[in-house]
Structure 1
Amino acid sequence: MNTASLPRFRVVSRPLSRVPDLVRLADSENPLLWVRKQRGFVGLGVAYRLDTHGGERFADASRTWATLQENAIVDDPIAGPATGLIALGTFSFASNSQTPSTLIVPRIVVGKKDGEAWITYVGDDSADPHPAAASLASADVFDVAQLDDFLALAGVKGTVPETSTWQPLQWQTPEGETEAYRAGVAEAGRRLDAAAIEKVVLARRLQAPLAEGADLRVPLGRLAHRYLDCWTFAVDGMIGASPETLIRSIHAKVSARVLAGTRRRDENEARDEELSRELVASEKEQLEHRFAIESLVETLSPHVTDLQHDAEPSLLQLPNVWHLATRVTAQLADGADAFELAEAVHPTAAVAGTPTPLAMDTIDELEPFDRGRYAGAVGWVGAGGNGDWAIALRSAQVDHSHSPATITAFAGGGLVVGADPEHELSETVAKFRPLMEACS
């Protein structure tokens, strides 16, 4: 792609006097958000947007981002991983998806980490800086009490009253898709029995109309509050709370969290404990998890040294499910940026299958819809190759292109030998639960 005509930015970052509520600060209709526990950031306004398709989508984003950074004049005394010029992105699961992969540079970023906060303004480079850039650059510490005035000065919609508009969603399965899911699991089982594939992940979806003026900060706030061990995200209408790190690279330290193998939670404490023990003891679930680890190690190894992972998976306890989880760490060896690392490891066996090319063909054949960005990469990139990508799980896509707007939620599960259609359907019900409750 041609990067010669890309904009030149003047970027200013400063500490904030106190930490604001990031979810409340987000745009209610088109939020840009990345938060987990006491860290993350919100984007306001759009300084630049890239939409790309196909097998070059990660490379297109990487080349564009490199040029944007090279062209930018950055005034950032904080020099944190997510200060200065950053972008949020959401990438399609498959290269043949009709849904664009999108990279967005926010006009303003407000972030927090370890009890401290910052603000960044991204303006067009000119001899006469925008008044917003000048006012921010003149401050050693920006007073958060002036934030609304600053947003207005920058031409960005300010914070809104605490009252929000939200009506519980009425979810429905698209006609025929429950039966198609059961049939797909059964057919995948036959192929697994014939040893044509070792694992494949099949998904299904639910859809609901959105009321006019629906405030997406309501479900996002619920997700962020309840799923503290997940990244709550919103990028170009793709919203959710993912427990799984695809790849994180900060100052050449690389890490990932692999999840594969699931049991639903139960309100009965004794039964819940029994389900967790079943998961650990399950040969099927352990096999599924091993495939996911092997997939990541194989694809990541060419880019790193000192690659290590837990000898045995641990139990990750979320409000809706138990997961088998393994943390992987490594040291970057070849200077690959966050886009290149994400492209190398996507799609993992945890969301596609093994062997990956055959699993992807099987998904394309057996799923009666385009996944879009579900199970793709979602996250952010900063300077120096830094970035943090999650797998877009426990997620839904908002579509404002027609009236009423709609939201489509996705959930899936890994199939290995012995997969049972009813059990797998039940697993997807548990995985839909975070969004169902957040949107109630």
Structure 2
Amino acid sequence: MVRTEPVEELAPLIPRADPRHPLLWMRRGEGIVGLGETLRVETSGASRVKDAAAAWTELAADADVDDRVGLPGTGLVAFGAFAFADHSASSSVLVVPELVLGRRDGRAWVTRITHASGAAGASGDRGGDGSEDAAAAVPLAIPEPAPKRRVPRVAFTPGAVPPEAYESAVAEAVRRIDAGELEKVVLARQLLGELHEEDGLRATITRLAEDYPDTWVYAVDGLIGASPETLVRVDHGTVSARVLAGTTSRGAGDASDRERATALAASPKDLAEHALAVASAVKRLAPHTARLDASPEPFTLQLPNLWHLATDLKGTLGDGSSSLDLVQAVHPTAAVAGTPRRVALRVLAELEGFDRGRYAGPVGWIDGDGDGEWAIALRCAQVEPDGTVAAYAGCGIVHDSRPADELAETVMKFRPIVEAFGG
């Protein structure tokens, strides 16, 4: 049983999230927060997205939905995070919360999701006779915002691949590219730390949202981050995506900053890397659309710590695919894997030296109609139940990449998550 009702106001959202197990998706202060867990779908292997999509379609078809708001994120909703690689030891999940708090376009709502069969969710809070009518009559308790807490401090150190080994991997990747084995490969680094504080993760997520308001700020099953890259969005037959590839740091002053953005927009290396990523996304999305348009030229996207080259894609869905169907089609993109995809995946697995887990995998949400918003899990960390924190950052390697420059770029990309943990 799913019931969505409008409420007066829910701002701010993040302080209402569960500090131990936050479920959250937001940008510019709007989005959804999940509390509790009614059910979970876990998948793995090469068919992880396809299996999750099939399970979700079956579940949604059986759901009894009373949605009195009708905005993206209302009604039946699941938060999701998927492993990057087919062989990853990390599971992929769809989490259906008990309670969803949402804000969009100046409106706010609360959704309660219970088992219509009479089986209680995590809270076990149902009407006295176990009927759907009684469950619908249970008042929707809205948690009050928690007091502001200090940001938990995590001291990060290099993971499986220290900086000098990363530079060697970049040099080897360039050698293989120059030999004609592939055109581009994305190589990532890992930082590890331990979370000891008891304040939970709300302060970390708040820091990300305040410092990077134009990104997708997310928290799903211990994966938290702030991604600037939209993998795919589906809303009533409209499909959109944002492709990012090509990066430079921000300048020290206004003049220097403009010079860096201008240089990025004219950089043959970055333009070539970006073109490969856009071509990959178009190739994967086009078969599912009746029309697909791209920005005429890449534009420079400004973030607090760097500039990206960006291209927006927008079109009309042509085959009735759900957002998870499109995730299956486009992941992994050239922006986080390389080109040709199959070769790049093999090369990055050989050279990186660690399991990416959910880093660079799809993260987002899906509703009962199959609509949803999915980003690429970038600028992120996975927080394990034992307190281990693994942060990730990667760079696209092409024929004229320089190891020292790519290492410096990873340092820039680590900055959002490292600072969010008090670094």
**TM-score normalised by length of structure 2:** 0.94
Name the CA distance, whole Å, in 1 between partners of 2:166 and 2:209.
30
d(CA) in 1 for partners of 2:19, 2:360: 24
Cα drift, residue 75 of structure 1: 1.2
User: Is 1:46–2:24 an aligned residue pair?
Assistant: no
**1:87 pairs with one of 45, 60, 78:** 78
Residue 263 (structure 1) aligned with residue 248 (structure 2): yes
Q: Which residue of 2 aligns with 1:411?
A: 393
Is it true that 1:315 corresponds to 2:306 in the alignment?
no
> Which amino acid is the alignment partner of residue 102 of structure 1?
V
Residue 3 of structure 1 aligns with which residue? none
2:367 corresponds, among 363, 368, 382, to 382
Q: Which amino acid aligns with 1:54?
A: G
Listed as ranges, the matches of 1:423-434 within 5 Å are 423-434=405-416
What is the match of residue 347 of structure 1?
A: 332
Match 1:360 to one of 320, 345, 357: 345
Aligned to 1:115, which of 106, 109, 116? 106
Deviations 1:24-71 (A, max 9, x none): 000101100000014200000000011110011011111111111111
Cα distance in 2 for partners of 1:353, 1:330 equals: 24
- Once the two structures are TM-superposed, the CA of residue 160 in structure 1 deviates from its matched residue by 6.2
What secondary structure is seen at the aligned counterpart in 2 of 1:195? coil
Shift in Å at residue 339 of structure 1?
1.0
Residue 260 (structure 1) shift: 0.4
**Equivalent residue for 1:30?**
21
- Residue in structure 1 matched with residue 266 of structure 2 by the alignment: 281
Aligned AA (2:406): E
Could you tell me whether the CA contact under 8 Å between 1:165 and 1:215 is conserved in 2? no
Does the 8 A contact of 1:202 with 1:413 survive in 2?
Answer: yes
Shift of 1:267: 2.7
Q: State the one-letter code of the partner of 1:85.
A: L
Structure 1 residue aligned with 2:8, among 12, 17, 22? 17
More moved, 248-257 vs 17-26: 17-26
For residues 395 and 254 of structure 2, what CA distance do their matches in structure 1 show? 24
Q: Runs ≥4 in structure 1, deviation > 6 angstroms? A: 132-136
Change (3 A) 1:175 1:255: closer
1:420 is aligned to 402
Task: Report whether the alignment pairs 1:130 with 2:126.
Answer: yes
| C-alpha contact 1:29 1:215 (8 A) present in aligned 2 | yes
Q: Is the 8 A contact 1:19 1:115 kept in 2?
A: no
CA distance in 2, matches of 1:317, 1:123: 42
Question: Which of 228, 234, 238 is equivalent to 1:243?
Answer: 228
Separation in 2, partners of 1:160, 1:213: 18
Counterpart of 1:7 in structure 2 is none
Partner of 1:183: 168
* Deviation, structure 1 residue 74: 1.1
The SS at the match of 1:434 is helix
Residue in 2 that maps onto 1:6: none
Query: In the alignment, is the contact (CA less than 8 A) between 1:109 and 1:120 conserved in 2?
Result: yes
CA contact (8 A) 2:153 2:197 kept: no
Show structure 1 runs of 5+ residues with no match: 1-9, 152-157
Supply the AA of the counterpart residue of 1:171.
F
* Partner of residue 199, structure 1: 184
Q: Is the 8 A contact 2:13 2:29 kept in 1?
A: no
Aligned to 2:66: 75
Any conservation in 1 of the 2:243–2:278 contact (CA below 8 Å)?
yes
Aligned residue identity for 2:395:
G
Residue by residue over 1:367-406, the C-alpha shift from the partner in whole angstroms, topping out at 9 and shown as x without a partner, is 1100000000000000222011100000110011x3xx11
Structure 1 residue 176: deviation in Å?
Answer: 4.7
Superposition deviation, residue 196 in structure 1: 1.1
Matched to 1:101, the amino acid is S
Q: CA deviation at 1:306?
A: 1.3
